[in-house]
């Protein structure tokens, strides 16, 4: 096995060849009906990596039938056994971390070190939910009148539909599969057509770890809507767990209304990053690098709007620009590269358009500000100052390596600007004043707050947003609840 930085191009062919390319339905890998395939590209070169099966709506219905057939027996499997499957899968992922990371870098672009970080993060969801599988509890209580008893039981929701995005191709899957397996739910999972290879690799690992046939069914497709809508409207699936953009999430919520499916929605963000005049600026710049540059800025948690107190704004911008300008941009497989390409031409065009719009509206480039010539979808790490709040950069998800800085004068102005968005996933704030820290944390309208840190994601913590950033939480002790129903049995006690 290779380690980061030591692999040779032959490794790239070896790891890609090892990924199963079919649909995984009922425990069997098979071609899509009609033999249809779709191409997976390397965003660093724009060249094809491989072809994978491209599911049709009929294939999707077969996957749903397989999950439905597996549901009852899987729900009856002892929780300890379900947990042990997750634990074995965790161990296999960690044993194969180098190969899994290389596959991820090839299909998605992030540097190998970041891919390894994501594989570890992703595997940790399995370890966490292996432990949660045996802690599903219930309750027994005396009714207030004393004449009956309440028995409260938790049961698996039933068959779940899982839809994951391309930006964290492994972790967004394990964050759903982990609690679904722990709770006893069979699944149909649809990864993004841009980055299906991580989920294909994972399905094989789960089968090897002993997951029964039909519990996880994988349908990669170039027709996401046409394949998933009939499954959502069918009625046999009882839950949809979706991670992706807010517009698609809203459309799916409407579809879920027909059969009143349970939903978990992990949607888009527009995170404010507040730097107060009493902040430790070096700590704030470190946090900004994490919150902005993780995943090349292609993260729902990415700092989107830097709101900095006027008295420290110039120094903060200078320090941040020095760090951003020193980053090495390149193919994520190459040693020393810190910033990979954006995922595709569309992603880069959007970043370019947002930066151009801000410049037209009066912003100034401190560093970067343009795409990198040549093959692949690279964009230079960029810092802009004087970004007006009405610029598109301040209102839309950037999903690229661009830090947009705006100044504020008072705490109230900072909080008002931070909350002036339909999104509410995460906010960051840097201050050394404990009272201000707690007061502003309470005032920020977001599901998560990073206080003097640029990283909030942790499998043991409840991840999720408010407002149009979503519904429900993933991870933490509440993560499994999303896959459980509460049943109450009223017990007559006579008299
Ligand atoms: P997206 O376009 O909404 O796609 C997400 C997933 O939905 C993909 O698998 C996509 O398939 C599928 N999809 C697209 N249209 C669909 C439809 N009509 N019916 C069913 N499925 C459909 O989002 P993305 O560009 O992949 O991901 C980036 C977005 O995800 C950002 O907004 C980001 O903030 C958000 N995100 C949120 C979180 C969170 O935890 N809150 C985490 C990560 C990402 P195809 O890709 O094959 O079209």
**d(C-alpha 172, C-alpha 163), whole Å:** 9
Distance from Cα 242 to the centre of ligand 1, integer Å: 8
Relative to beta strand 28-30, strand 23-25 is antiparallel
**Looking at residue 3, what is its pLDDT?**
40
**Residues 140 and 281 reside in one and the same domain:** no
Residue 4 has pLDDT above 50, yes or no: no
**Quick check: helix, strand or coil at residue 67?**
helix
**d(C-alpha 290, C-alpha 275), whole Å:** 15
pLDDT band (50, 70, 90) for residue 493: confident
**d(C-alpha 184, C-alpha 164), whole Å:** 20
Regarding the beta carbon of 164 and ligand 1, being less than 6 Å apart is answered yes
Closest CA to 262 of 357, 351, 157: 157
Nearest CA to ligand 1 atom 17: 225
**Residue in 248, 271, 351, 476 to alter for ligand 1 test, most ligand atoms within 8 A of Cβ:** 248
Relative to beta strand 47-53, strand 37-42 is antiparallel
- Does residue 463 fall inside a structural domain? no
Measured from the Cα of 168, ligand 1's closest atom is: 43
Q: Any residues with CB less than 8 A from the CB of 7 and at least 6 apart, and which?
A: 98, 102, 333
**Residues 225 and 371 reside in one and the same domain:** no
Residues 72/242, Cβ–Cβ less than 8 Å: no
**Residues 340 and 482 reside in one and the same domain:** no
Distance from Cα 359 to the centre of ligand 1, integer Å: 29
Nearest CA to ligand 1 atom 23: 244
pLDDT band (50, 70, 90) for residue 8: low
- Does residue 495 fall inside a structural domain? no
Distance from Cα 165 to the centre of ligand 1, integer Å: 4
Distance from Cα 281 to the centre of ligand 1, integer Å: 35
**Residues 292 and 360 reside in one and the same domain:** yes
Measured from the Cα of 246, ligand 1's closest atom is: 32
Total structural domains in the chain? 2
Distance from Cα 229 to the centre of ligand 1, integer Å: 15
**Quick check: helix, strand or coil at residue 405?**
strand
**Residue in 193, 224, 255 to alter for ligand 1 test, most ligand atoms within 8 A of Cβ:** 224
| DSSP single-letter state for residue 459 | T
Helix, strand, coil percentages for the chain (3-state, nearest 5): 45, 20, 35
- Annotate 135-189 with DSSP letters as a single string: G---EEEE-TTSSEEEEEEEEE--SEEEE--SSSTTHHHHHHHHHHHHHT--EEE
**Residues 139 and 286 reside in one and the same domain:** no
**Looking at residue 495, what is its pLDDT?**
62
Distance from Cα 266 to the centre of ligand 1, integer Å: 9
Both tokens of 437, joined, read 């820290």
Regarding the beta carbon of 244 and ligand 1, being less than 6 Å apart is answered yes
pTM of the predicted model, to two decimals?
A: 0.97
**Residues 439 and 348 reside in one and the same domain:** yes
**Residues 394 and 323 reside in one and the same domain:** yes
Regarding the beta carbon of 253 and ligand 1, being less than 6 Å apart is answered no
pLDDT band (50, 70, 90) for residue 2: very low
Q: Any residues with CB less than 8 A from the CB of 481 and at least 6 apart, and which?
A: none
- Does residue 494 fall inside a structural domain? no
Regarding the beta carbon of 293 and ligand 1, being less than 6 Å apart is answered no
Distance from Cα 154 to the centre of ligand 1, integer Å: 30
**d(C-alpha 219, C-alpha 361), whole Å:** 44
Regarding the beta carbon of 425 and ligand 1, being less than 6 Å apart is answered yes
Cβ-based neighbour number of residue 272 at 10 Å: 27
- Which entry of 266, 298, 468, 482 is annotated as an active-site residue? 266
Nearest CA to ligand 1 atom 4: 244
Residues 159/238, Cβ–Cβ less than 8 Å: yes
Regarding the beta carbon of 23 and ligand 1, being less than 6 Å apart is answered no
**Residues 238 and 174 reside in one and the same domain:** yes
Regarding the beta carbon of 251 and ligand 1, being less than 6 Å apart is answered yes
- Which entry of 185, 300, 397, 482 is annotated as an active-site residue? 300
pLDDT tens for 162-207 read 999 999 999 999 999 999 999 999 999 999 999 999 999 999 999 9
Q: Any residues with CB less than 8 A from the CB of 111 and at least 6 apart, and which?
A: 105, 332, 337, 338, 339, 340
Regarding the beta carbon of 268 and ligand 1, being less than 6 Å apart is answered yes
**Residues 101 and 241 reside in one and the same domain:** yes
Q: Does residue 266 carry a catalytic annotation?
A: yes
Cβ-based neighbour number of residue 251 at 10 Å: 13
Mean model confidence pLDDT for the chain:
97
Which helix or strand (DSSP H or E) is residue 488 part of?
Answer: strand 484-492
- Identify the CATH number of the domain in which residue 364 sits: 3.40.309.10
Residues 55/193, Cβ–Cβ less than 8 Å: no
- Does residue 477 fall inside a structural domain? yes
**Residue in 225, 244, 291 to alter for ligand 1 test, most ligand atoms within 8 A of Cβ:** 244
Regarding the beta carbon of 228 and ligand 1, being less than 6 Å apart is answered yes
**Residues 307 and 345 reside in one and the same domain:** yes
pLDDT tens for 317-364 read 999 999 999 999 999 999 999 999 999 999 999 999 999 999 999 999
Both tokens of 131, joined, read 């432990």
**Residues 360 and 251 reside in one and the same domain:** no
Both tokens of 227, joined, read 């394949």
Find residue 403's DSSP bridge partners. Answer: 383
The share of the chain scoring above pLDDT 90, in percent, equals: 97
Both tokens of 412, joined, read 């109230």
Which helix or strand (DSSP H or E) is residue 30 part of?
Answer: strand 28-30
Find residue 150's DSSP bridge partners. Answer: 141, 490
- Identify the CATH number of the domain in which residue 147 sits: 3.40.605.10
Both tokens of 114, joined, read 């970041």
- Does residue 3 fall inside a structural domain? no
**d(C-alpha 294, C-alpha 445), whole Å:** 23
pLDDT tens for 224-240 read 999 999 999 999 999 99
**d(C-alpha 118, C-alpha 105), whole Å:** 11
**d(C-alpha 80, C-alpha 443), whole Å:** 42
Which helix or strand (DSSP H or E) is residue 415 part of?
Answer: helix 411-419
The gap between the terminal CA atoms of the chain, to the nearest Å, is 71
pLDDT tens for 402-450 read 999 999 999 999 999 999 999 999 999 999 999 999 999 999 999 999 9
Distance from Cα 245 to the centre of ligand 1, integer Å: 5
Distance from Cα 163 to the centre of ligand 1, integer Å: 8
**Quick check: helix, strand or coil at residue 103?**
helix
Residue 492 has pLDDT above 60, yes or no: yes
Question: Residue 335's domain spans which residues?
Answer: 271-420+426-458
**Residues 323 and 191 reside in one and the same domain:** no
- Does residue 492 fall inside a structural domain? no
- Does residue 493 fall inside a structural domain? no
Measured from the Cα of 221, ligand 1's closest atom is: 47
- Does residue 98 fall inside a structural domain? yes
Regarding the beta carbon of 193 and ligand 1, being less than 6 Å apart is answered yes
């Amino acid at each position: 096995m290779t380690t980061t930085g030591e692999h040779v191009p032959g490794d790239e062919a070896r790891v890609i060849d090892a990924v199963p390319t079919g649909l995984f339905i009922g425990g069997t890998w098979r071609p899509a009906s009609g033999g249809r395939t779709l191409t997976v590209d390397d965003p660093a070169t724009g060249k094809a990596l491989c072809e994978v099966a491209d599911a049709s709506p009929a294939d999707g219905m077969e996957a749903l039938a397989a999950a439905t057939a597996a549901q009852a027996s899987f729900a009856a499997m002892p929780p300890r056994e379900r947990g042990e499957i997750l634990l074995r899968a965790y161990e296999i992922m960690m044993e194969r971390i180098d190969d899994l990371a290389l596959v991820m870098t090839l299909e998605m672009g992030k540097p190998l070190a970041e891919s390894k970080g994501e594989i570890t993060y992703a595997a940790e969801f399995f370890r966490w939910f292996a432990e949660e599988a045996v802690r599903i509890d219930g309750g027994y209580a005396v009714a207030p009148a004393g004449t009956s008893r309440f028995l409260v039981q938790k049961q698996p929701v039933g068959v779940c539909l899982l839809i994951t995005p391309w930006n964290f191709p492994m972790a967004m899957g394990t964050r759903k599969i982990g609690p679904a397996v722990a709770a006893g739910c069979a699944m149909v999972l649809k990864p993004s057509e841009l980055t299906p290879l991580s989920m294909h690799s994972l399905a094989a690992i789960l089968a090897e770890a002993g997951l029964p046939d039909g519990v996880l069914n994988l349908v990669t497709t170039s027709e996401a809507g046409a394949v998933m809508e009939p499954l959502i409207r069918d009625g046999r699936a009882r839950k949809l767990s979706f991670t992706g953009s807010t517009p698609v999430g809203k459309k799916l919520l409407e579809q879920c209304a027909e059969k009143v499916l349970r939903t978990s929605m992990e949607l888009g963000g527009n995170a404010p990053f507040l730097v107060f005049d009493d902040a430790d600026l070096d700590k704030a710049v470190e946090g900004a690098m994490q919150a902005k540059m993780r995943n090349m800025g292609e993260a729902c948690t990415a700092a989107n709007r830097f709101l900095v107190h006027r008295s420290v704004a110039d120094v903060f911008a200078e320090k941040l620009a020095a760090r951003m300008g020193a980053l090495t941009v390149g193919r994520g497989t190459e040693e020393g590269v810190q910033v990979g390409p954006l995922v595709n031409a569309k992603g880069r065009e959007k970043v370019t358009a947002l930066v151009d719009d801000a410049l037209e509206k009066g912003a100034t480039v401190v560093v970067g500000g343009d795409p990198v010539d040549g093959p692949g979808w690279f964009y230079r790490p960029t810092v802009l100052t004087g970004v007006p709040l009405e610029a598109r950069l301040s209102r839309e998800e950037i999903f690229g390596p661009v830090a947009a800085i705006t100044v504020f004068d008072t705490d109230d102005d900072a909080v008002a600007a931070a909350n002036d968005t339909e999104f509410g996933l995460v906010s960051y704030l840097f201050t050394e004043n404990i009272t201000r820290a707690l007061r502003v944390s309470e005032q920020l309208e977001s599901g998560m707050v990073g206080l003097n840190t640029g990283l909030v994601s942790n499998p043991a913590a409840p991840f999720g947003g408010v407002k149009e950033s979503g519904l429900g939480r993933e991870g933490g002790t509440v993560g499994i609840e999303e896959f459980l129903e509460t049943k109450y049995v009223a017990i007559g006690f006579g008299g």
